[in-house]
Chains A and B, each alone.
Chain A
Amino acid sequence: MDNNLTTMYIYLAISGIMFFAGVYGFIARRNMLAILISLELMLNAVDINFAVFNRYMHPTVLEGYFFTLFAIAIAAAETAIAIAIIINIYRNIKNIKSDSLDKMKN
């Protein structure tokens, strides 16, 4: 059990690092694609957590895996939309910096 837990902590640490890397990227980057990538990073970190908790804490059920698959599907769809939006933005204002998106304010 101890061994198992140790393994789980390693996974969790990795996912934690991924998540906060995503957070950092989300806040710090101005490029919208980079923001999208950071977002994916956070999502994937969460997916890993789902899988890991399912595997180590409740090995008898499969809900965690289901959620992971579900989230991956959603993420794919969301990325597709996001990229479509970003492309449209690029067409309109010729760049994809997040802080240049202030047309709505004025």
Chain B
Amino acid sequence: MSILSIFVIIPILMLGGLFLSRNMKQIRTVATIGSALQLIAAIVLVVLFCGERSAGNTAEMLFMVDHVWFQALNIHYAVGVDGVSVAMILLSAIIVFAGVFASWKIEPLPKEFFMWLILLSIGVYGFFISIDLFTMFMFYEVALIPMYLLIGIWGSGKKYYSAMKLTLMLMGGSALLLLGILGIYFHSATDGNLTMNILEIAKNDAIPHFWQNILFPLTFVGFGVLGAMFPFHTWSPDGHASAPTAVSMLHAGVLMKLGGYGCFRVAMYLMPYATQELSWIFLILTGISVFYGAYSACVQTDLKYINAYSSVSHCGLVLFALLMWNTTAMTGAIMQMLSHGLMTALFFALIGMIYGRTHTRDIREMGGLMKIMPFLSVCYVIAGLASLGLPGLSGFVAEMTIFVGSFDHTDTFRRVFTILACTSIVITAVYILRVVGKILYGPVQDQHHLKLTDAVWYEKFSTIVLIIAVAGIGIFPLWVSDLIRESIQVISERIIP
């Protein structure tokens, strides 16, 4: 059994364990041990991967396993990882781990909540390790469906509306995606040996240009919906606002990364010709996302909306950088995925904790929280600083890599968009500081808040894990960027003629 299958097997075992647990204590034990094991496995994977690489193994994908699954359509359970997937798996493991602690006291139906949450994580891990289009798609759906129940049952506010909207929009994306995948499958080889395996499709390079131009938009938009690309982003504010804390964390932190990951692994990698031909259209859309999300966030009053729009802006930057298709910009995009994943998870965790105390997310009704709950407030400031790109935290390295990479294009169109994207760092500062100033500083707005307490141990643990990860990337970025760069190189070389 390969190390990769462990990432699917641990959650399945956890599901079994959760099914058998009878009380909160057992549920927590299973969830904690399982997610800790996943985290350890992810770290081991990173170490093994780096070891293989430094031992001179230059294969595109490592730890490959291939089982035939459905002979007629040539569907395989084929897994393998490159640097990008490894980074994403590590990200997911960290966030699931933190998420378990953030939902320590979830009510009602804790058992079912954790089961769905773990099912979701199966989908996420499976997606990142798959190199077979069909299994990839399957895991993608496995990750999406639990979202509906998680928001619909454990959510708050207009949760039915949000859950329905989110699921429907993402399913709409999946429909396009399925079309795209089938199209790719039927053009995957010229000699009749049709295949779903991404590596083989890339090797065959048999998709005709005409079909590339059709399939690229389908797959890109299909994944782009999950990556909150303008104008398909509106599920995100409502969805995040209604979702329970851990779900927001996992969704913004990991699920939205599925979109970006899919965009480059499927759309761009398999269809390099169309990427060059059509990237300008999506560059405009993602450029708008970056800008638009940031400006929208400036006037929102709900904490979760602010972060949802900020996610639109940051994830827009991910897709934007991917479409710049050079190694530096794409490396930056992956780092931005990591960084955004961690810091948004941190944000949503903190917002959940603050909301759990004040019972409001309206920034106009809060103030002076720094005095009342210093720990949460300081963490919030750190998350904010990471978001606005303070050096030493993860946001800075990602954004700078993106900007330097994007600036490598000399044509005016890309230059202008790069400079526009750069301006988002100012707007980000505006909305982050606005929130920090309003809710954390200043006089206490509501006298009832004075009685509130600061974070308890599991909340502290959850946020500290995330802060360490954010600072870890921010202070020692070189190993992450090296890990990613080598793998990106293969892909960017396919695109750049």
Direct contact of A and B (CB under 8 A): no
Q: Which residues of A contact B (CB under 8 A)?
A: none
